A and B are shown apart, each in its own frame.
Chain A
Amino acid sequence: MNLINSIFKICGATGKKFLKFLSNIGHFFIFFITAIFWIFRPPWYFKKIFYQIIDIGYFSLPVVGLTTFFSGMVLALQTYNGFSDLNNETTVARVVLTSITRELGPVLTGLMVAGRIGAKMAAEIATMRVTEQIDALGTLGTRPLQYLIAPKIIASLICVPVLVLLGNTIGILGGYIIAIFKLEFNPSIYLYATVEYLQWIDIIQGTVKAAIFGLIISMVSCYFGFNATKGAEGVGYATTASVVISSVMILTSTYIITALFFG
Chain B
Amino acid sequence: MENKLNKKIIIEVKNLTKSFNETMVLNDINFRLFEGESLAIIGASGSGKSVLLKNIIGLLSPDKGSIKINNVEMVDLKRSVKEKILLDLGITFQQGALFDSLQNWENIVFKVKNKEKLTVKDAKELALSIIRRLGLNSEILELYPSEISGGMQKRVAIARAICGNPKVLLFDEPTSGLDPVTGSLIDKLIKSTVKTVGGSAITITHDMASVCRIADKVILIDKQTISWSGTPQEMLKSDNEKIKDFIKSTNPKLFF
Contact = CB atoms under 8 A, between A and B. Distances in A.
A141 B93 contact: no
Interface string A127-144: 110011101111111110
Given A141-B86, A141-B87, A135 B59 contact: yes
Contacts of B94: 132
B59 A138 contact: yes
A139 B111 CA distance: 9
A53 B193 CA distance: 42
Interface in B90-131: 91, 93-95, 97-100, 110-111, 114-115
Interface size class of chain B, counting residues whose CB lies under 8 Å from the partner chain: 20 to 34
Nearest to A141: B87
A139 B57 contact: yes
A141 B114 contact: yes
A140 B111 contact: yes
Interface string B62-97: 000000000000000000000100110101011101
B138 to A, nearest CB: 23
B20 to A, nearest CB: 12
Nearest to A51: B101
B99 A133 contact: yes
B59 A140 contact: no
Nearest to B60: A135
Contacts of A142: 110, 114
Contacts of B111: 140-141
B97 A132 contact: yes
Nearest to A43: B114
Contacts of A128: 99-100
A143 B114 CA distance: 12
B100 A141 contact: no
Given A141-B114, A141-B115, A136 B93 contact: yes
A132 B83 contact: no
A59 B115 CA distance: 33
Contact of A135 (B87, B97, B110): B97
A29 B55 CA distance: 26
B115 A132 contact: no
Contacts of B87: 140-141
Interface string A201-213: 0000000000000
A133 B97 contact: yes
B100 A133 contact: yes
A143 B86 CA distance: 12
A131 B95 contact: yes
Contacts of B59: 135, 138-139
Nearest to A143: B83
A139 B95 CA distance: 15
B86 A139 contact: yes
A135 B115 contact: no
Interface string A107-150: 00000000000000000000110011101111111110000000
Nearest to B91: A139
Contacts of B54: 135
Interface of B: 54, 57-59, 83, 86-87, 89, 91, 93-95, 97-100, 110-111, 114-115, 160
6 contacts: A132-B94, A132-B95, A133-B99, A137-B99, A142-B110, A143-B83
Interface of A: 127-128, 131-133, 135-143
Given A133-B98, A141-B111, A142-B110, 7 more contacts: A127-B100, A138-B58, A138-B59, A139-B59, A139-B89, A140-B110, A141-B114
